[in-house]
A and B are shown apart, each in its own frame.
Chain A
Amino acid sequence: MPVAWFLAPYKRRAGTISPDRYCAMDDYTASAAWTETEVLGNRAVVKVRASEVTLAAINADPDFVRLPKDALDDPLSDLSSGQKAALRNLLLDMGYTLQEIQARFGADLGDYTLRDVLRFMASRRLKPRHDRVNDTIVLDGEAQSCRDVDHVDREVV
């Protein structure tokens, strides 16, 4: 079966005693094999192995973003300007600054591979806490390390 990379959100699980969040890819576990690394912006970089039908269903889910390449070593050189701009905007939306993005990738993401972008996405995440007054999960704590994307890659083949 084919594999694909997605950026997936974390969802709050309702009806739990303690604040509980999970990677939304678990909603597709019945029809997909997957593993993830939590990254900045309450998201996870996820590698999925599933049928084309399931991958299409996940791609159609507005909460998910399918990344433009399927293998870590795939170059981004053939991405359109629009695709590269969308990828850059995704990094900004996650919470990385323009300065950080430019320092890492310069002017053209096309000079890099999917691995380079995913490793950048997995530069850090922030420790969550529970705002008990408003019953919300807030991700504004100390920076924590992310699981290595190569390890994620090896786990789903």
Chain B
Amino acid sequence: MAFPVTGILDDFNRANSTTTIGSNWTALESGATKDRGISSNQAYNPDGVPNYSWLYYNVAQFGPDSECYCTIATWTTNADNHTLMVRLKDVTQDAYTFDAYMLQAGISGTDAIKIYRIDNNVNTQLGATVNPMMANGDKIGIRVVGSTITGWLEQGSGWTEQLSRTDSTYAAAGYFGFYTSDDSTWRVDDFGGGTITAPPLFLRPPMHLLAR
């Protein structure tokens, strides 16, 4: 199945802000130091070090089979990463009990992409790290179908699957989320995704309708 098969949910095209990226996003941690913002129609962190934040798209839950993706217009310059979450659940603010599957991508040191299972805010990496070279403008994506979680990268010539992992712990639909690194230089754009519906099986017409 090609990636993605779903559309943009938030292009961040709205007025600049230093306190919010919009009402469709909720932080998993409260407090003014967890500010997020909009700059030139892209999401960013106006507060920088040491203020990071976990956000989820509160409009709907997706799945259980689902995908989400975004454009990393500018990578974080800290020793930190960008992440995407699917099947995110238990999102009570400040409880640190959320579970999810997560794609993590970063260019600090050796460029790396990893897939994690999150249990109670504890990240457990699934399988090995992969190391594609990444640059500003790349797009990252995560898809979960059944117990298969895949990580995707688009660098100007089409999406390619970078890694595939198997885990059946969290099988229900959930929210989408992403993590905002603690520096003010990164920019994220065009957050997309949705529920993946399996294509219908080819149904053979009833025998009496088949051409003789």
A interface with B by C-beta (< 8 Å): 10, 13, 15-23, 25-26, 29, 34-36, 38, 127-130, 132, 137, 141, 144-145, 147, 151, 155
**Least CB distance, A25 to chain B, in whole angstroms:** 8
Could you tell me the distance between the alpha carbons of A102 and B42 in the complex, rounded to whole angstroms?
A: 60
User: What A residues does B123 contact at CB under 8 A?
Assistant: 16, 18-21
B60 contacts partner chain A, Cβ-Cβ < 8 Å: no
Instruction: Say whether A145 contacts B168, CB under 8 Å.
Output: yes
Instruction: Say whether B119 contacts A127, CB under 8 Å.
Output: yes
Known: A129-B122, A130-B122. A35 touches B127 (CB 8 A): yes
Q: How many residues of B contact A (CB 8 A)?
A: 22
Instruction: Say whether B127 contacts A129, CB under 8 Å.
Output: no
6 interchain residue pairs of minimum CB distance: A22-B125, A129-B120, A29-B128, A128-B122, A20-B123, A19-B122
Known: A130-B96, A145-B168, A145-B169. A18 touches B80 (CB 8 A): no
Bitwise, B125-167 to A at CB < 8 A (1) or not (0) is: 1011100000000000000000000000000000000000011
User: What B residues does A29 contact at CB under 8 A?
Assistant: 128-129
Q: How many A-B residue pairs have CB under 8 A?
A: 66
B24 contacts partner chain A, Cβ-Cβ < 8 Å: no
The prevalent SS among residues of B at the interface is: strand
B interface with A by C-beta (< 8 Å): 52, 79-80, 96, 114, 116, 119-125, 127-129, 166-169, 179, 182
Instruction: Say whether B127 contacts A36, CB under 8 Å.
Output: yes
User: What B residues does A17 contact at CB under 8 A?
Assistant: 52, 80, 179, 182
Instruction: Say whether B125 contacts A21, CB under 8 Å.
Output: yes
> Chain A residue with minimal CB distance to B125?
A22
> Chain A residue with minimal CB distance to B181?
A17
**Least CB distance, B77 to chain A, in whole angstroms:** 15
User: What B residues does A128 contact at CB under 8 A?
Assistant: 119-120, 122, 124
Q: Which of B52, B79, B124, B182 contacts A38 (CB 8 A)?
A: B124
Q: A22-B124, A128-B122 given; name 7 further pairs at CB < 8 Å.
A: A20-B116, A23-B125, A25-B128, A35-B127, A36-B127, A130-B122, A144-B169
CB-defined A-B contacts under 8 Å, sample of 14: A15-B79, A18-B121, A20-B116, A20-B122, A22-B124, A29-B129, A35-B127, A35-B128, A129-B120, A130-B120, A130-B121, A141-B119, A145-B169, A151-B166
**Least CB distance, A28 to chain B, in whole angstroms:** 9
User: What B residues does A23 contact at CB under 8 A?
Assistant: 125, 127
